[in-house]
A and B are shown apart, each in its own frame.
Chain A
Amino acid sequence: MADVIAQNPLTAGLSASLIPQPCTLVIFGGAGDLSARKLLPALYNLSLDGVLPANFAVVGFARNELDDSSFAAFARDGIQRFSRRPVADAHWAEYARSLFYAPGSFADPQAYAELKRRLEKIETEFGIPGNRVFYLSIPPSLIATCVDQLQAAGLVADPREGPISRIIVEKPVGRDLASARAINEVLARAFDESQIFRIDHYLGKETVQNLLVLRFANSVLEPLWNSKYIDHVQLTVAEEEGVGTRAGYYEEAGACRDMVQNHILQVLAMIAMEPPWSLAAENIRDGKLNLLRCLRPVAGADVDKQVVRAQYGPGYYHGEDVPGYRREDGVRRDSTTETYVALKVLIDNWRWAGVPFYIRTGKRLPKRASEAAIYFKPVPEILFNTNRDELLEPNVLTLRIQPDEGFSLRLSSKLPGPKVRIYPVKMDFHYGATFGDSSPEAYERLLLDVMAGDATLFMRRDAVEASWAWIGGVLDAWEASRTRYVPEYAAGTWGPIEADRLIESDGRRWRTL
């Protein structure tokens, strides 16, 4: 009897990366804002690049009364407005051919039965072997309904056999630990953890993906990546925009839930995690989880010492008057929802003992900027660093997540001339300037990863719950304080004076971005 082939000999010479499987992507809330701004443009760009599976279709599923052609028009409009590349007429017909729409209420079993029939027909037409990816671009309150209906309609396949069924859930998963667990339980009723992709688009940004490359593919950095050489780290996620049309969501969430619990803690975990022993998704996710478990709890009286929250007041945005948060449409006049939060975080492990991670995020700040800045310890106060009035500025490695993705390293250099004068210089790397083409949008990479079954850049259940458990200490303390006063900062400024005091009390300053 011939030996069984244990390893596929046909993969020799091919890329080791996972290959997107032929599938149908069903977008719940397909006629919504995220779909128009991000998902459909991302799929279009993937299509232009020829990296989508050959057998692929998109089905928009929502209550809106659209048909296939009006959904295609909706997609084209979104792509024209938000895609990094314009609509190419030569390619459009090919892309639009794969767009379908199924109207229906998320709570109506009939709609799911109809969706199933439609999917089967499309799969036959496109030669798709029953693989389905469900993207829940819907409010968290509807997740349970949709998951239960999907299961009841027989749309979820067993992960151990048959075609692929995967589900994508948008952040935030829940609004606290209890609700996150509840959502995770709902998902687990119908899907195996390997089928669940909790998406946080920040993790699809080139710079975030590059974090692991930067740390573990360059011999100069990793030996310095610890408390012996690093003084502190600053993580900033600054938004220019106000609450806009999202007041309903934001009033319930606030900056801490909206940004810190997910984006920022995930980036922090990638910066600070121990080296994984392989690049397998589970190893990296284990590494991040271990880091999250090392965060020193901030709760009770420590919250006032280590956390600052604030709301934007009236001010200026690009020279125009803008109202304060409490004057925005849909916001309660006595709201205490924070639009800004600054935290000092400590990591209780061997590598990071005593190194503070300062985090700040807010709306209506002077510019849109997300970055992580690693401050190295200063050189000793000898040789070039003897002037106590003008100590040398420390080396800083800055990882720009958006906009203008890239990184820079600040060094001290001698100014040209006969005298020894030291000046800080920046060595700058810009993705756009170096690699030419604009970087793919985060959603492009992430959607492709789901189709390929690569969960590296997605949040695992235990990590989501660990994040909520940690941030819960802060949220509980705020809840218990029942304060009616939240400090204000003028729109268009870098935040409240209280946040300056938070870092200045440690003898440090926030970076100017």
Chain B
Amino acid sequence: MTTLVASESRFVSLAAIERELARPWQHPGGRREEQTTRALMGNLIAVCRSERERAGLEREVAQIVPHYPTRALLLVVDPANQSAGIEASIALQGCIRGSSLQICGELVIIGAGGPGTPRLASVARAVLLGDLPTSLWWASPEAPPLAGELFSQLAELADQVIYDSAAWADPLRQLVVTATWVSGSGRQVASDLAWRRAKLWRRIIAQSLDPTLAPGALEGIEEVHIEHGPHALTQAWLLSGWLALRLGWVPRGGKLLPGPGVSWSFEWPHGRPRVEIRRHPEGEPDIRTVRIVTRVDGRPVTFRFELQAAGRVAVSAERLTDRARDRLFESSVALARTMAEAVL
């Protein structure tokens, strides 16, 4: 029987973080059979921009920890706060197995105002556990490269940079900036959670249009209609980019539609397919439906897909353990940038 437990967070000085986190498992005390152990797979640096974002992010990190035991460093960087001070608090999360406590989450919350921002990277360097994979989760609703020096410094410490383009306020411009960064990110693996959440869409489209099941369906695509909830334009955009990339469609032009929406035309030896992306005013920030108008064995067929996308926590936890570079994502982002630049 496993019971999840969490300690209250408490304030500590920056210099005492390591000592306080190590205390329960390094100097366990108690009886031998009441051992405290620690499970840790990696470091996670999660960055957000306000106390309001912090509450949600803290909840998500707490949900990730049972799947991915981690030392999580949650940086709350509030530019509106003009205090130069930096505050730290720590909390532990664990599970009780029999009479043993296994610590699987070490949460360090660092709060800083605008003037304290330049100091945060040095705090992170001191708190990260050595010799473990480190992921930077840019959980703020802005493209990471637009965050300036703090992002560059934290990305240097990470093997992987995770962000969620679903939250972006100006998605196309931010997509262009981010795509440029992704193409030159060097050793860091870039991961967009919006792209990861679209994996099920890619799979179902690929399987449904497979030539063995639906002969001629790929060559016969005439129209693709993607409908998405608010803040999911980049997800739809990336799905279009992926489709175009894999089928070798060459973008011919795009235009913004009232509604709002975007329309794209492509060209390839089998015809001139068109992609239309439309936004629903309400709902989850994910793709809602995909409709593909094509021909199977010469007969007109419309495939309509409707899916419940995986949650952000599940996708994040999966991404933390699967750190492989995703070439398909990188190529899709590059094509999506080309498409975005054309309509901007």
Which residues of A come within 8 Å of B, CB atoms?
240, 315-320, 366-367, 369, 373, 387, 389-390, 396, 398, 404, 408, 410, 415, 421, 423-426, 430, 432-433, 491-494, 511-513
Distance in angstroms between the alpha carbons of A421 and B323 in the assembled complex = 10
Establish whether residues A318 and B321, one from each chain, have CB atoms under 8 Å apart when the complex forms. Answer: no
Which one of A366, A373, A426, A433 contacts B126 once the chains associate, using CB atoms below 8 Å?
A: A366
Q: Which 8 A-B pairs have the closest CB atoms?
A: A492-B122, A366-B125, A513-B130, A316-B122, A390-B324, A318-B14, A389-B325, A319-B86
Q: Within 8 Å of chain A (Cβ to Cβ): is B299?
A: no
Distance in angstroms between the alpha carbons of A396 and B121 in the assembled complex = 26
Which of B22-30, B199-207, B214-222, B231-239 makes up part of the contact surface?
A: B22-30
Q: How far is the CB of B135 from chain A (nearest CB, A)?
A: 13
Establish whether residues A319 and B122, one from each chain, have CB atoms under 8 Å apart when the complex forms. Answer: yes
Establish whether residues A387 and B324, one from each chain, have CB atoms under 8 Å apart when the complex forms. Answer: yes
Which one of A424, A493, A512 contacts B122 once the chains associate, using CB atoms below 8 Å?
A: A493
With A319-B119, A421-B321, A513-B131 in contact, is A367–B22 under 8 Å at CB? no
* B41 proximity list for chain A (CB < 8 A): 423, 425
Per-residue CB proximity of B132-160 to A under 8 Å, as 1/0? 11100000000000000000000001000
Q: Nearest CB to that of A371 among chain B residues?
A: B130
Establish whether residues B126 and A318, one from each chain, have CB atoms under 8 Å apart when the complex forms. Answer: yes
User: Chain A's interface: helix, strand, loop or mixed, by majority?
Assistant: mixed
Q: Nearest CB to that of A509 among chain B residues?
A: B187
With A319-B116, A426-B132, A494-B125 in contact, is A415–B321 under 8 Å at CB? yes
Distance in angstroms between the alpha carbons of A433 and B324 in the assembled complex = 34
Q: Within 8 Å of chain A (Cβ to Cβ): is B15?
A: yes
Establish whether residues A398 and B321, one from each chain, have CB atoms under 8 Å apart when the complex forms. Answer: no
Q: Nearest CB to that of A322 among chain B residues?
A: B122
* A319 proximity list for chain B (CB < 8 A): 14, 86, 116, 119, 122-123
**Complex A-B: 27 CB contacts under 8 Å:** A240-B126, A315-B122, A316-B119, A318-B126, A319-B14, A319-B123, A366-B122, A389-B325, A389-B327, A390-B323, A396-B131, A398-B131, A404-B26, A408-B131, A415-B321, A421-B321, A421-B322, A423-B41, A423-B321, A433-B27, A433-B28, A492-B121, A492-B122, A494-B125, A511-B130, A512-B157, A513-B131
Distance in angstroms between the alpha carbons of A493 and B69 in the assembled complex = 26
Which residues of B come within 8 Å of A, CB atoms?
13-15, 18, 22, 25-28, 40-41, 86, 116, 118-119, 121-123, 125-126, 128, 130-134, 157, 321-325, 327
Q: Nearest CB to that of B325 among chain A residues?
A: A389
* A320 proximity list for chain B (CB < 8 A): 119
Distance in angstroms between the alpha carbons of A367 and B157 in the assembled complex = 14
Most interface-central of A319, A367, A389, A423 (chain B CB within 10 A): A319
Q: Nearest CB to that of A433 among chain B residues?
A: B26
Q: How far is the CB of B95 from chain A (nearest CB, A)?
A: 15
* A426 proximity list for chain B (CB < 8 A): 40, 131-132
Q: Nearest CB to that of B320 among chain A residues?
A: A423
* B134 proximity list for chain A (CB < 8 A): 512
Q: Nearest CB to that of B132 among chain A residues?
A: A426
* B13 proximity list for chain A (CB < 8 A): 318
Q: How far is the CB of B282 from chain A (nearest CB, A)?
A: 35
Q: How far is the CB of A282 from chain B (nearest CB, A)?
A: 36
Q: Nearest CB to that of B323 among chain A residues?
A: A390
* A492 proximity list for chain B (CB < 8 A): 121-122, 125-126
Establish whether residues B122 and A317, one from each chain, have CB atoms under 8 Å apart when the complex forms. Answer: yes
Q: Nearest CB to that of A316 among chain B residues?
A: B122
Distance in angstroms between the alpha carbons of A491 and B119 in the assembled complex = 11
Which one of B15, B40, B118 contacts A318 once the chains associate, using CB atoms below 8 Å?
A: B15
Establish whether residues B322 and A512, one from each chain, have CB atoms under 8 Å apart when the complex forms. Answer: no
Q: How far is the CB of A306 from chain B (nearest CB, A)?
A: 24
Q: How far is the CB of B166 from chain A (nearest CB, A)?
A: 25
Q: How far is the CB of A143 from chain B (nearest CB, A)?
A: 36
* B132 proximity list for chain A (CB < 8 A): 424, 426
Distance in angstroms between the alpha carbons of A430 and B125 in the assembled complex = 22
* B86 proximity list for chain A (CB < 8 A): 319
With A423-B41, A433-B26, A493-B122 in contact, is A512–B327 under 8 Å at CB? no
* A415 proximity list for chain B (CB < 8 A): 321
Distance in angstroms between the alpha carbons of A492 and B120 in the assembled complex = 10
* A511 proximity list for chain B (CB < 8 A): 130-131
Apart from A390-B324, A421-B321, A512-B128, what 11 extra A-B contacts exist at CB < 8 Å?
A: A318-B126, A320-B119, A366-B126, A367-B125, A367-B126, A387-B324, A404-B22, A433-B26, A492-B122, A494-B125, A512-B131
Most interface-central of B18, B125, B130 (chain A CB within 10 A): B130
With A318-B14, A433-B28 in contact, is A512–B325 under 8 Å at CB? no
Q: Nearest CB to that of B322 among chain A residues?
A: A421
Distance in angstroms between the alpha carbons of A506 and B13 in the assembled complex = 40
Distance in angstroms between the alpha carbons of A389 and B159 in the assembled complex = 13
Distance in angstroms between the alpha carbons of A309 and B125 in the assembled complex = 21
Distance in angstroms between the alpha carbons of A494 and B130 in the assembled complex = 12
Distance in angstroms between the alpha carbons of A310 and B8 in the assembled complex = 43
With A366-B122, A366-B125 in contact, is A424–B133 under 8 Å at CB? yes
Distance in angstroms between the alpha carbons of A240 and B123 in the assembled complex = 12
* A318 proximity list for chain B (CB < 8 A): 13-15, 122-123, 126
Distance in angstroms between the alpha carbons of A94 and B134 in the assembled complex = 52
Q: How far is the CB of B122 from chain A (nearest CB, A)?
A: 3
Q: How far is the CB of B150 from chain A (nearest CB, A)?
A: 13
Q: How far is the CB of A421 from chain B (nearest CB, A)?
A: 6
Establish whether residues B27 and A432, one from each chain, have CB atoms under 8 Å apart when the complex forms. Answer: yes
Q: How far is the CB of A313 from chain B (nearest CB, A)?
A: 13
* B27 proximity list for chain A (CB < 8 A): 432-433
* A390 proximity list for chain B (CB < 8 A): 323-325
Distance in angstroms between the alpha carbons of A408 and B327 in the assembled complex = 33
With A426-B132, A512-B134, A513-B131 in contact, is A389–B324 under 8 Å at CB? yes
Q: How far is the CB of A355 from chain B (nearest CB, A)?
A: 20
Distance in angstroms between the alpha carbons of A396 and B22 in the assembled complex = 23
Most interface-central of B25, B26, B126, B133 (chain A CB within 10 A): B126
* A421 proximity list for chain B (CB < 8 A): 321-322
Distance in angstroms between the alpha carbons of A124 and B322 in the assembled complex = 72
Most interface-central of A240, A316, A423, A494 (chain B CB within 10 A): A316
* A423 proximity list for chain B (CB < 8 A): 41, 321
Q: How far is the CB of A430 from chain B (nearest CB, A)?
A: 6
Q: How far is the CB of B89 from chain A (nearest CB, A)?
A: 14
Q: Nearest CB to that of A240 among chain B residues?
A: B126
* A494 proximity list for chain B (CB < 8 A): 125
With A319-B14, A511-B131, A512-B130 in contact, is A493–B324 under 8 Å at CB? no
Distance in angstroms between the alpha carbons of A126 and B15 in the assembled complex = 45
Distance in angstroms between the alpha carbons of A485 and B183 in the assembled complex = 35
With A316-B122, A318-B15 in contact, is A369–B26 under 8 Å at CB? no
Distance in angstroms between the alpha carbons of A398 and B131 in the assembled complex = 9
* A367 proximity list for chain B (CB < 8 A): 18, 125-126
* B130 proximity list for chain A (CB < 8 A): 369, 511-513
* A396 proximity list for chain B (CB < 8 A): 131
Distance in angstroms between the alpha carbons of A367 and B324 in the assembled complex = 29
Distance in angstroms between the alpha carbons of A433 and B24 in the assembled complex = 10
* A425 proximity list for chain B (CB < 8 A): 41
Distance in angstroms between the alpha carbons of A423 and B39 in the assembled complex = 14
